[in-house]
Amino acid sequence: MSIFRIFEAPQKSFFLLGPRGVGKSTYLREAFPDAHVVDLLSEDTYQRLLANPGLLAEELRAVSVDRWVVLDEIQRLPALLNEVHRFIEERKMRFVLCGSSARKLKRAGVNLLAGRASRRAMHPFVPGELGDCFDLEDALQNGLLPIVWDSEDKSETLTAYTHMYLREEIQSEALVRNLPAFARFLPVAALFHARAMNANNIAREAQVARPTVTNYLEILEETLMCFRLPAFEGKLRARERKLPKWYWCDPGIVRAIKNQKGPPAPEERGALFEGLVAQLIRSYIDYRDLCDEWYYWATAARNRTEVDFLLKREGAFVAIEVKSGGTYTRTWCIGLRAVADLDGLCRRIIVYPEGPELRTEDNIEILPFQSFSNLLANDDLWP
């Protein structure tokens, strides 16, 4: 089944980054059917260009200047960016530089192409891409990675995916020296999904030194498996929390790393559902410029008050709280009422899994997940 992706390719050269299995290569085959493809996953191609990166220039000279060139898995040979740079400058050729890791690219000096190749991201499916095929319970259990969504045995594919990540992203790229320590670290880091991230706590639980944990967290971000959400400092008459929150890019990956199978347990649902909403927002930020910046807000008190997401666009704010329960209660509004005095606040929304759309007397909207997803898909979030 072919799924229409809402990602729109730029008209000039660009990096297309995203975790493995997210559908980058499939998209590029469909969007650029006539492109000249240099596939660095092919061992023959990789070994040939590893031994002599200058051979790429000979290959490119035979390609028409009006034809796109796709370099797949570019992070495997960042040295090729020198030739890419030269052909963009001298022949005005257009490139798609596709990869699943920004780590090696950063270290190899991607800034060389600054201004000549923009950066774009591809994410797991969003509900708007799947239409009637989207199922919230399945998304929470197995995630929305295309490679998993299209699989006959999703649980088995997720297990294989985590092994592939360790083998192909971490071990083969020599990103860590101690693979067993990294493997111990992963399930501990998965426990911090949708939580304020404290490297000291992770280090203690994983029995790994704190500087090593900091490095491992950077690897998860730069291999595009995870992202951090900064704390908002609004000074709303309360001492505020400063630690960032930590999210994995897909609920299925989180569960596979923790070796959790079957329908999510009640204690899992809150973090999984919040993470799914976070990833949905992140996708529309990258695909549709949903907002300029986003944060979470929380007080530093033990019984802290929190708002899961604060989206900012041109000085205006939308506050979003996520609840995994099935029936609305007034306590859901505590955080949103705590930020009511925030300058520029124009909308307050609670997102919950399923049920009717509601509105409180003070104009807080209570929306089921599908309605919230439709808001983003139709660009109707901002008044």
> What phi, psi does 294 have (nearest 5°)?
-145, 155
- Average pLDDT on 314-318 reads 96
In a domain, 302, yes or no: yes
Q: Does the pLDDT value for residue 108 go beyond 80?
A: no
- Average pLDDT on 158-174 reads 79
285 and 371: one domain?
Answer: yes
Q: How confident is the model at residue 237 (pLDDT cuts 50, 70, 90)?
A: low
Task: List the one residue out of 301, 320, 326 whose CA is nearest residue 364.
Answer: 320
CB 369 within 8 A of CB 277: yes
In a domain, 136, yes or no: yes
Task: Provide the domain limits for residue 266.
Answer: 127-272
155 and 263: one domain?
Answer: yes
88 and 164: one domain?
Answer: no
Domain boundary among 272, 307, 336: 272
Q: How confident is the model at residue 339 (pLDDT cuts 50, 70, 90)?
A: very high
Q: Does the pLDDT value for residue 112 go beyond 60?
A: no
156 and 211: one domain?
Answer: yes
259 and 372: one domain?
Answer: no
Output the six-digit token pair for 151. 């699989």
CB 348 within 8 A of CB 319: yes
- Average pLDDT on 82-110 reads 84
Count helices and strands in the chain by DSSP H and E runs: 16, 14
CB 8 within 8 A of CB 39: no
In a domain, 154, yes or no: yes
Task: List the one residue out of 26, 95, 18, 29 whose CA is nearest residue 56.
Answer: 95
Task: List the one residue out of 68, 9, 58 whose CA is nearest residue 34.
Answer: 68
In a domain, 382, yes or no: no
213 and 335: one domain?
Answer: no
Task: List the one residue out of 309, 334, 304, 305 whose CA is nearest residue 321.
Answer: 309
- Average pLDDT on 322-338 reads 96
Output the six-digit token pair for 333. 């509004």
Coil, helix or strand at residue 213: helix
To the nearest whole percent, how much of the chain has pLDDT over 90? 72
Domain boundary among 121, 137, 162: 121
Check residue 259 and give its pLDDT. Answer: 92
In a domain, 227, yes or no: yes
Residue-wise burial string across 38-59, b where 16 or more C-beta atoms lie within 10 A, e elsewhere: bebeeeebbeebeeebeebeee
DSSP classification of residue 240 = B
Task: List the one residue out of 183, 204, 180, 201 whose CA is nearest residue 192.
Answer: 201
Q: Does the pLDDT value for residue 102 go beyond 90?
A: no
181 and 232: one domain?
Answer: yes
- Average pLDDT on 295-315 reads 88
How many folded domains does the chain comprise?
3
Q: State CA 35 to chain mean position distance.
A: 27
Q: How confident is the model at residue 303 (pLDDT cuts 50, 70, 90)?
A: low
Check residue 34 and give its pLDDT. Answer: 96
136 and 267: one domain?
Answer: yes
pLDDT digits (tens, 9 = 90+) for 352-366: 999 999 999 999 999
Q: Does the pLDDT value for residue 173 go beyond 80?
A: no
pLDDT digits (tens, 9 = 90+) for 33-80: 999 999 999 999 999 999 999 999 999 999 999 999 999 999 889 889
Q: Does the pLDDT value for residue 123 go beyond 90?
A: yes
Burial (CB count within 10 angstroms: exposed 0-12, middle 13-18, buried 19+), residue 360: middle
> What's the whole-number average pLDDT of the chain?
91
Check residue 177 and give its pLDDT. Answer: 75
